[in-house]
C-alpha cells in the first residue's frame, strides 16, 4: 500500500495511506476548492482584510480578486471654484468581494492656499449621495497669500451589511454591483481659494517640473 507522509517541523508526522485495491481516480484540488465553497472550507475570521486596492493616481491598472481597476492619471493642478466639482483622481467604480461587511475608502491629496490661507470644503459621495459625516473643511491662517500646503485625507467607512440602506450614512444591506465613490471640493468664497495636487516649494526654491505636481493616491480596503 502506498503512503504519503507529511513530517512536522520539529517532530511527528501525518500519513495518508491508499487502500490495497484502489479506483483509478484523480483528486483535482482546483475542483474540490472553488470560489463557491472556499469560505466554508477555509473560513476567514471577522475583521480580516479581504482585498487591498491601492495606487498613486498615475494611470496604473491594479488587479485584485474583485477585478482590474485603472486609476486616473493626474497630470494637472486643479483650482477651487465656488461650486462643488469632482477632485481629479478621486473617482472609482468598485464592487467588493461578496464576504465584505465593510469597505474603507481613503483619498489623499495635496492642497495649497492661494489667498488668505484658503478655506476649502470637501465632500465624499457614493453614487451621487453625499456622505455627510465624512465631510471636512480645511482652513489656514488668514494671510494675503500664504501658499500654505497641506496633505489632506478624506475617508469613508462603508457598512455593507447594515440593517437598512441609507447612502448618506454610508450604509447598505448588501453591495453586489459597482458603486461610484469620489470626492468633491469647493472654496468658501473667491477670497479663500485653493489649488490641489500642487507643490509650491521644492529644493530651496519654487517647485518646477517634475516636482510641481503632487499626484494623489487612492486606497480601498474590503473587510470581512
Q: Cα–Cα distance between 92 and 82 in angstroms, integer? A: 24
Question: What's the pLDDT score for residue 57?
Answer: 98
Report DSSP letters for 73-133, one per residue: B--S-EE--SS-EEPTT--EEE---TT-SEEEEEEEEEEEE-STT-EEEEEEEETTEE-GG
Question: Domain locations in the chain?
Answer: 47-223
> And the C-alpha cell for 109?
491629496
- Model-level pTM? 0.80
Per-residue pLDDT tens for 136-189?
998 876 665 567 888 999 999 999 999 999 999 999 999 999 999 999 999 999
Q: Cα–Cα distance between 188 and 12 in angstroms, integer? A: 70
Please name the residue ranges forming H helices in the chain: 29-32, 38-41
Q: Cα–Cα distance between 217 and 13 in angstroms, integer? A: 48
Give yes or no for a contact between 165 and 173, defined as CB atoms under 8 angstroms apart.
yes
Q: Cα–Cα distance between 169 and 70 in angstroms, integer? A: 27
- Overall CATH class of domain 47-223: mainly beta
Per-residue pLDDT tens for 42-67?
677 889 999 999 999 999 999 999 99
Q: Cα–Cα distance between 72 and 104 in angstroms, integer? A: 19
Amino acid at each position: 500500500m502506498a503512503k504519503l507522509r507529511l513530517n512536522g517541523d520539529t517532530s511527528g508526522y501525518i500519513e495518508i495511506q491508499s487502500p490495497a485495491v484502489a479506483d483509478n481516480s484523480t483528486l483535482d484540488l482546483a475542483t474540490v476548492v472553488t470560489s463557491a465553497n472556499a469560505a466554508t472550507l477555509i473560513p476567514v475570521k471577522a475583521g480580516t482584510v479581504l482585498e487591498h486596492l491601492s495606487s498613486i493616481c498615475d494611470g496604473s491598472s491594479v488587479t485584485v480578486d474583485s477585478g482590474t481597476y485603472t486609476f486616473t492619471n493626474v497630470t494637472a493642478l486643479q483650482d477651487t471654484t465656488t461650486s462643488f466639482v469632482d477632485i481629479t483622481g478621486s473617482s472609482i467604480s468598485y464592487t467588493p468581494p461578496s464576504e465584505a461587511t465593510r469597505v474603507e475608502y481613503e483619498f489623499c491629496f495635496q492642497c495649497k492656499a492661494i489667498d488668505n490661507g484658503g478655506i476649502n470644503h470637501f465632500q465624499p459621495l457614493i453614487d451621487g449621495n453625499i456622505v455627510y459625516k465624512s465631510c471636512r473643511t480645511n482652513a489656514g491662517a488668514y494671510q494675503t497669500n500664504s501658499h500654505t500646503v497641506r496633505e489632506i485625507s478624506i475617508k469613508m467607512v462603508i457598512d455593507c451589511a447594515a440593517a437598512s440602506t441609507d447612502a448618506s450614512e454610508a450604509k447598505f444591506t448588501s453591495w453586489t454591483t459597482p458603486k461610484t465613490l469620489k470626492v468633491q471640493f469647493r472654496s468658501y468664497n473667491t477670497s479663500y481659494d485653493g489649488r490641489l495636487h500642487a507643490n509650491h516649494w521644492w529644493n530651496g526654491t519654487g517647485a518646477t517640473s517634475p516636482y510641481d505636481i503632487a499626484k494623489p493616491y487612492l486606497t480601498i480596503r474590503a473587510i470581512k
